[in-house]
Structure 1
């Protein structure tokens, strides 16, 4: 159950009166949760909750309800906020679990899968998107209002004090509908995300439906440990393009912010999905001030220096067709090398992950060989694995 529920507009007004923390402390006493919150968590109430309320208001979503400090018995800690409202397209209830982090810098702890947070002592931390996704899965497993409506729930982590380059290791984390990540540099993308999930309408009815009482249900697609098996039930790339786009976009931003150059190879999307993904990512990066180029269709090569270069497989097949044999023509390698040299982050989007008969590893294998020759690490983003 939540500690306190109010709209973004109401939270903003309470903060202006400097009454937010006092109201939450009073709610702790009322709900028998006094003493559960640390001083650091109360600092987050004061500094983080008004930030997400501000962003909701700036998005025109001031009437959306915010369920603060929502607890579930099976989860170690509460969700910072669950946003409740109406989906702008379907008009059905729509919910977003929000994890708010005041972290300013985070780096991967080598070989552990965990992260070291600047100015924090103690153990290294899990990726916050894992925490958010786990909470979302627990909600899907426990709330009757979500049974059969898994698409109505999304999750995000908001590092509102951090720039992309300060948390580049976090941005490389694989993404699903339940684990989007935003920083202060991607606040515009966060606002677009919220508008995609929530309409400018009162969120109270959806919040009341959600909070009416969790009903223990068993969803189809749960594995033996009670976790949702996304590979059997549902968030396929075809139905979750936004999560795939966010994953690719955040990985590109992390690669651009990293100290060493790397190339990205994206597979698992059909040709039409790949084109849409490239267009969306390139437009978003352009708006954020990156110098972005896209190679698509039967165009002559022009490899001007840029921050990010997107190259679709359709362009490669026009510029340097592979024969029906295992050997790749020598003309392909200089072409790929020129692309890789011209961009801080070269991104190759290969259709479907399909390997045609006789092509061996196709363009993916050749790109890997060229990267190796140039001493540029390559990373393979398998969207058919992450989002199927």
Structure 2
């Protein structure tokens, strides 16, 4: 159950009167939850919740309901806020679980895979906050009648509104799905677009009331005989969720761009057609954000202008290798790959699973890694078909 529910417009008005934190504290006492909230969490009430309400209002979504501190029985720690409203495409109830962090700097823990160190905080390294949000979303799917059989109406996000991309590059590189989007103050515009893709300006109260009224026992939520949750379709795979796939690729590009050293990105786990659409969407978004981008997808060319982000699709690599004659295969490709890596701040190679590399060329991914290694540039593989936790 939530601690308090009100629209983004109502929360904004309450904050202007300095009444938000007192109202939440009074709700704690009334519900017998007094003393459960730390001083840090109350700072989030004062600063993070109004930031979300501001973004909703700027997106034209002031009527969306915000269910604050939504707790699930038997689960430690509530969700900071669940947004409830109407989906713009389906006109069905739509929900977004939001984890709000005031972190200003985060780095990967050197000796703990998948754990992160937060600047100016002591204690054990922390989980990725987007992973935390995804776990909460899955718990909701297991326990809420409003979500059973219609998981597409739920999404999750983490918002680090105090941090720039360059402050959290290790977080941006981390894989995610539609249940674990990540935004910083640098990607506030992307956050507003995301919210508009999930919610409309219609009042969110009916959706919030439906959500709050409909929890069911986990045993009714699609468990198999071994007690494991049966996911409906493959909705948690990036390959089947183009928006999540694009968001992950964009975040990886942003992380690579803001890092001190150049790096090569290799995207796999997609088809040639899907990869081309993903590249087109990513190029358009990056251009609007001010990046200089170039896409290699048409006829072969050996001219590569200096740019921020260079996308190269596998069909273009095939066109390079196709002409007969001396130097076909690695001898022809390797010098071009090295040239491409040199001219771009972030070279991105999109390889397709439904294409087979020519026998005399070998695996394109291997050649790209070899070219990057020859230039002493680190490479990272992004698999879009992997199912993450």
* TM-score normalised according to structure 2 size: 0.94
2-structure distance, mates of 1:243, 1:222: 27
Q: CA deviation at 1:376?
A: 1.1
1-structure distance, mates of 2:74, 2:367: 48
Q: Which residue of 2 aligns with 1:14?
A: 14
Unaligned runs of 5+ in 2: none
Q: CA deviation at 1:385?
A: 1.5
Asked if the contact 2:142–2:222 (Cα under 8 Å) also holds between the matched residues in 1, the reply is: no
Asked if the contact 2:94–2:198 (Cα under 8 Å) also holds between the matched residues in 1, the reply is: yes
2-structure distance, mates of 1:61, 1:186: 18
For residues 234-254 of structure 1, the C-alpha deviation after alignment (integer angstroms, 9 at most, x for no partner) is 334453100011111101111
Asked if the contact 1:322–1:329 (Cα under 8 Å) also holds between the matched residues in 2, the reply is: no
Q: CA deviation at 1:386?
A: 4.1
Asked if the contact 1:79–1:98 (Cα under 8 Å) also holds between the matched residues in 2, the reply is: yes
**More displaced 10-residue stretch of structure 1: 327-336 or 213-222:** 213-222
1-structure distance, mates of 2:277, 2:132: 30
Q: 1:237 to 1:109 in 2, by over 3 A?
A: closer
For residues 128-185 of structure 1, the C-alpha deviation after alignment (integer angstroms, 9 at most, x for no partner) is 0111011000000000111000101000000000000100000011010100000000
1-structure distance, mates of 2:150, 2:214: 17
Q: Which residue of 2 aligns with 1:39?
A: 39
**More displaced 10-residue stretch of structure 1: 280-289 or 243-252:** 280-289
1-structure distance, mates of 2:61, 2:225: 36
Q: Secondary structure at the match of 2:345?
A: strand
Q: Which residue of 1 aligns with 2:334?
A: 333
Q: Give runs of aligned pairs for residues 368-379 of structure 1, distance below 5 A.
A: 368-379=369-380
Asked if the contact 2:102–2:160 (Cα under 8 Å) also holds between the matched residues in 1, the reply is: yes
Q: Which residue of 2 aligns with 1:343?
A: 344
Q: 1:45 to 1:348 in 2, by over 3 A?
A: same
Alignment: residue pair count = 384
For residues 8-47 of structure 1, the C-alpha deviation after alignment (integer angstroms, 9 at most, x for no partner) is 0000000011100001001111111111101111010000
Q: 1:149 to 1:225 in 2, by over 3 A?
A: same
Unaligned runs of 5+ in 1: none
Q: CA deviation at 1:213?
A: 3.7
Give the superposed CA RMSD: 2.1
Q: Which residue of 2 aligns with 1:24?
A: 24
Asked if the contact 1:240–1:387 (Cα under 8 Å) also holds between the matched residues in 2, the reply is: no
Matched, 1:106 2:106: yes
Q: Which residue of 2 aligns with 1:249?
A: 250
Asked if the contact 1:223–1:229 (Cα under 8 Å) also holds between the matched residues in 2, the reply is: no
Matched, 1:64 2:64: yes
Q: Give runs of aligned pairs for residues 162-311 of structure 1, distance below 5 A.
A: 162-217=163-218, 218-220=220-222, 224=226, 226=228, 233-237=234-238, 239-298=240-299, 300-311=301-312
2-structure distance, mates of 1:60, 1:387: 33
* TM-score normalised according to structure 1 size: 0.94
For residues 61-83 of structure 1, the C-alpha deviation after alignment (integer angstroms, 9 at most, x for no partner) is 00000000000123210000000
Runs of 4+ in 1 over 6 A off after TM superposition: none
Matched, 1:48 2:45: no
Q: Secondary structure at the match of 2:126?
A: coil
1-structure distance, mates of 2:358, 2:30: 68
Asked if the contact 2:239–2:269 (Cα under 8 Å) also holds between the matched residues in 1, the reply is: no
Q: Which residue of 1 aligns with 2:385?
A: 384
Asked if the contact 2:98–2:159 (Cα under 8 Å) also holds between the matched residues in 1, the reply is: yes
Asked if the contact 1:322–1:328 (Cα under 8 Å) also holds between the matched residues in 2, the reply is: no
Q: Which residue of 1 aligns with 2:144?
A: 143
1-structure distance, mates of 2:238, 2:127: 26
Q: CA deviation at 1:328?
A: 2.6
Q: Secondary structure at the match of 2:67?
A: strand
Asked if the contact 1:137–1:227 (Cα under 8 Å) also holds between the matched residues in 2, the reply is: no
